[in-house]
Amino acid sequence: MPFSFSNLRRPALMLLALAALAGCAAEPGAPTARISSASVPPEYQARQDELDPTVVVPAVSPRYLNERNRRRWVNYDGPEAVGTIVIDPYARVAYHVKAPGRAMRMGIAVGKEGKGFAGTAVIRRKEVFPSWTPTANMIRTDPDLYGPLRDGLPGGLDNPLGARALYLYKGNRDTYYRLHGTMDPSSIGKATSAGCIRFFNQDIMDMYDETDTGTVVKVRSEAESLAMEGPMVELHSGYVVPASDVAAIDADQRAWESGQIEDYAQVEAESHERAVAAANAQASGQLYSTAGGLETMQPTYVNSNGIYSN
């Protein structure tokens, strides 16, 4: 379904409000605190979409803006030309090469299919608030979650593709590899159940504006990631850090042993249960308004307009 602003004014607009609340909801085990807008960097503040001032993209909570997730200027010694977007699904970062030796680095979330392609492709298609439809294989793999959504979801902030999507091609062939936004900012920096490459909505919106069709995207292989970034370690929290960051690894281990970090697999399983309930509510035209509503579908959604499967 192509994007139209009228899609945002269905009952799904009410669900958009839930997605906005998700950006300020406490993570399991995290203290509840009022987040001041002054503590959110300007680039991650809430913003009105330039295509429709009635659509407000929620601010990203500071708790998700760790050092590796927040966009920042870095020195870059890779071989890619200026203008290239570099995706590293193993280090869970992306680089937009802006000048010789300089790049803007951003955190990303990576699903299973995010490691299914490596090499060079180009952006041939760009979409604003893309729609999403599960494939037959997805419905077959997880009928409880995807079955109620077989007719798809219109574009909007309550859609797993988020505010923007960039589609990669090799020549005229679609690679089915997508760079896109998310309705779940807590997933950035982590490995998710399915899908491709997610960015904070603010990051993908700016990348959308800064890139033209024909932009080259380089997706690193595991060997290339190891050569450029060095070995990485996944923490109990779900984030990754360089293996050399002994302080972060030790702190994570102590937090895990003291029970301050919940089992990530259990968190995902509970999210799946809530997602199934939300999918059924969405299919029946109801507003799923309990805590952790439709936004909890993000960890289990694929995010390539329904082409990928689990």
pLDDT single digits (tens) 170-225:
999 998 889 999 988 999 999 886 668 999 999 999 999 999 999 999 999 999 99
pLDDT single digits (tens) 87-96:
999 999 999 9
What local confidence, expressed as pLDDT, does residue 19 receive? Answer: 31
What local confidence, expressed as pLDDT, does residue 287 receive? Answer: 44
Domains and CATH numbers, the chain: 5-25+41-300 (2.40.440.10)
What local confidence, expressed as pLDDT, does residue 286 receive? Answer: 55
Low-confidence stretches of the chain (pLDDT < 70) are 1-38, 112-114, 135, 193-195, 264, 285-310
SS (H, E, C) the chain: CCCCHHHHHCCHHHHHHHHHHHCCCCCCCCCCCCCCHHHCCHHHCCEEECCEEEEEECCCCHHHCCCCCCCEEEECCCCCCCCCEEEECCCCEEEEEEECCEEEEEECEECHHHHCCCEEEEEEEEEECCCECCCHHHHHHCHHHHHHHCCCECCCCCCCCCCEEEEEEECCEEEEEEEECCCCHHHCCCECCCCCEECCHHHHHHHHHHCCCCCEEEECCHHHHHHHHCCEEECCCCCEEECCCHHHHHHHHHHHHCCCCCCHHHHHHHHHHHHHHHHHHHHCCCCCCCCCCHHHHHHHCCCCCCCCCC
What local confidence, expressed as pLDDT, does residue 258 receive? Answer: 93
